[in-house]
Structure 1
Amino acid sequence: MATPDDPAYAVRVLLVEDHDKVAEALGLAFEGFADVELIERANSLETGVAAAVRLGPDVVLLDRRLPDGDAIEAIGRFAPARVLVLTGDATSRMTARLLEAGGAGLLLKSGLLEDLIGAIKLVAAGEIVIDRELLPGRADRLGGQR
């Protein structure tokens, strides 16, 4: 069995997403990356927490808005897994709440797949990842261009 220090190791990801089309698309996309393995998909916080306890993922990829609650408020329930939250929209206050709750990352759903895969690997390695669109002063650093 490969360990996290082994080059053949794949980051084990639990996806908690209630929209079937989004979950299916992510599942198919992950198949193209040997170093990221989608181990299970849950469609609510309750089923996600149960799956995390049962499977022990490295990273939980968590939709912010789920039918049974706000993902940020539930981050601690997924410990010891690192939690990367996906959202359609975000604010600086949401970013602060995520960090206060022990979250490891916040990404916009509109981002690139390669950025998501990179963020999953960074989060698994112990880093904190915040979507560059959510960082204060980003327009100044980018010269006002996208």
Structure 2
Amino acid sequence: MSADISSSPTRLLLAEDHPMVVVALDSAFDQVEDIDLVETTGSVADTVAAAARIRPDVILLDRRLPDGNGIDAIERLHEVSPAARVLVFTGDADRAMRDRVMEAGGAGLVLKTGLFDDLLEIVRRVAAGEDCFDVDL
């Protein structure tokens, strides 16, 4: 009989500067077995440093951080952690923003106004190599 070898959880880095959102997502992800929220950061600089150090599978990146625009940081994140897939997390979006994320090399765009179960599904799809952009924008 062969042993059941399960895959390791997706390693997620969260870049978000609102403490309430961080606490809520940390608590929610704590209940999810296949996604491991390994670190949270609150700035572009801290996110780039963390990505270089921990090499996450997925970076859930707030679009607006105190020291810069998350979309503008995607290229730097790919330089320090080439395998990481970047998912931009924002409260509002339009087609132009979606296009900017795509052009920057992002793997997806997810709205903060959605449900946590939808966020989980998108993180899983992005981790599996799929790009996730809302076509209805």
Alignment TM-score > 0.5, same fold: yes
Q: Aligned partner of 1:96: which letter? A: D
Could you tell me the TM-score, scaled by structure 1's length?
0.85
- The equivalent residue for 2:72 is 73
Out of 76, 85, 102, the position equivalent to 2:88 is 85
Q: What's the secondary structure of 1:85's corresponding residue?
A: strand
Tell me the equivalent position of 2:38: 39
Distance 2:120 2:133 in 1: 13
Identity among equivalent pairs (%):
52
Aligned pair partner of 1:100 in 77, 100, 103: 103
**1:13: which partner in 2?**
12
Gapped regions of structure 2 (runs ≥ 5): none
Which residue number in structure 2 is paired with residue 53 of structure 1? Answer: 52
Match of 2:120 in 1: 117
- Runs of 4 or more, structure 1, over 3 Å off, are none
* Pairwise CA distance, 1:35: 0.1
Using the TM superposition, give the Cα deviation of residue 8 of structure 1 relative to its aligned residue in structure 2, in angstroms.
3.8
Deviations 1:62-106 (A, max 9, x none): 000001111111111112210001100011000000000000010
Choose the corresponding residue for 1:128, options 125, 128, 131.
131
Gaps in structure 1 of 5+ consecutive residues = 1-5, 137-146
Aligned length: 129
The amino acid of 2:88's aligned partner reads: V
SS in 2 for 1:118: helix
Deviations 1:100-128 (A, max 9, x none): 00000101101111111111111111110
Residue 118 of structure 2 aligns to a residue whose secondary structure is: helix
Specify the code of the residue in structure 1 equivalent to 2:40.
R
Distance 1:54 1:107 in 2: 25
Deviation at 1:130, TM superposition (A): 1.6
